[in-house]
Amino acid sequence: QKEVEQDPGPLSVPEGAIVSLNCTYSNSAFQYFMWYRQYSRKGPELLMYTYSSGNKEDGRFTAQVDKSSKYISLFIRDSQPSDSATYLCAMTPLNDYKLSFGAGTTVTVRA
Amino acid sequence: NAGVTQTPKFQVLKTGQSMTLQCAQDMNHNSMYWYRQDPGMGLRLIYYSASEGTTDKGEVPNGYNVSRLNKREFSLRLESAAPSQTSVYFCASSNGLGDIQYFGAGTRLSVL
């Protein structure tokens, strides 16, 4: 079983819809949680970064962490065609250099 | 505002050939990483360097070697390329423990 599980999709939604992405994990030591966005043929870029449990909002993006359920989510409100990309979750414990990544979910927002 | 720079962007090798992928960062980060990305597999860590002068194996180190040349530069070498090493390679850097990693644009490698 992988340490981080992420539904690969693909996910196709109409413009303006809410996109919901999630990851589950097995390592209770994870404390830092990240979401990266990767456009086709580009490198991953950081979208959201959260520490421990709770919510964080940045514009149309909201990240949620539920450590009791070992579950993290990313919501994209009022989705735009420019949000079409692969979204990767990543996480790490306090005392590690390495990130554990999900496989990525490919999202297409239809105009 | 370069961030993490990788060269080359594309490369085609024949089986058995060797090559070195170069990575440089200008963010004064302590830690640097090499990943490979394959369809359906996500990002897998090959090697990392927690700080200048140190290197450690990641999840998939076989067939690769690395050199942390100085604080800015971290190279990945394939001594005898195999078709199974066809992949997209990403270099990343961070300040250290638990920190955000910043990625380069990637090197697309095909081994025939």
Interval B95-107 mean pLDDT = 90
d(CA A22, CA A87): 10
What is the helix, strand, coil percentage profile of chain B, to 5? 5, 55, 45
d(CA B80, CA B24): 23
Beta-strand pair A85-93/A30-38: antiparallel
Say which residue the tokens 């490369």 belong to. Answer: B11
The tens digit of pLDDT for each residue in A40-77 reads 999 999 999 998 888 999 999 999 999 999 999 999 99
In the prediction, which pLDDT does A97 show?
Answer: 82
In the prediction, which pLDDT does B1 show?
Answer: 65
d(CA B58, CA B81): 19
Interchain CB distance below 8 Å, A44 and B58: no
Beta-strand pair B42-49/B31-38: antiparallel
Name the pLDDT band for B77 (thresholds 50, 70, 90): very high
Q: Helix (H, G, I), strand (E, B), or coil: what is residue A50?
A: strand
Is pLDDT at B69 greater than 80 in this prediction? yes
Q: Give the nearest chain A residue to B40 (CA atoms).
A: A103
In the prediction, which pLDDT does B19 show?
Answer: 96
Residues of chain A with pLDDT > 90, as a percent, come to: 86
The chain-wide mean pLDDT, for chain B, equals 94
| A33 at B interface, C-beta within 8 A | no
Q: CB-CB: which of B31, B98, B105 is closest to A32?
A: B98
| B107 at A interface, C-beta within 8 A | no
Is pLDDT at B45 greater than 90 in this prediction? yes
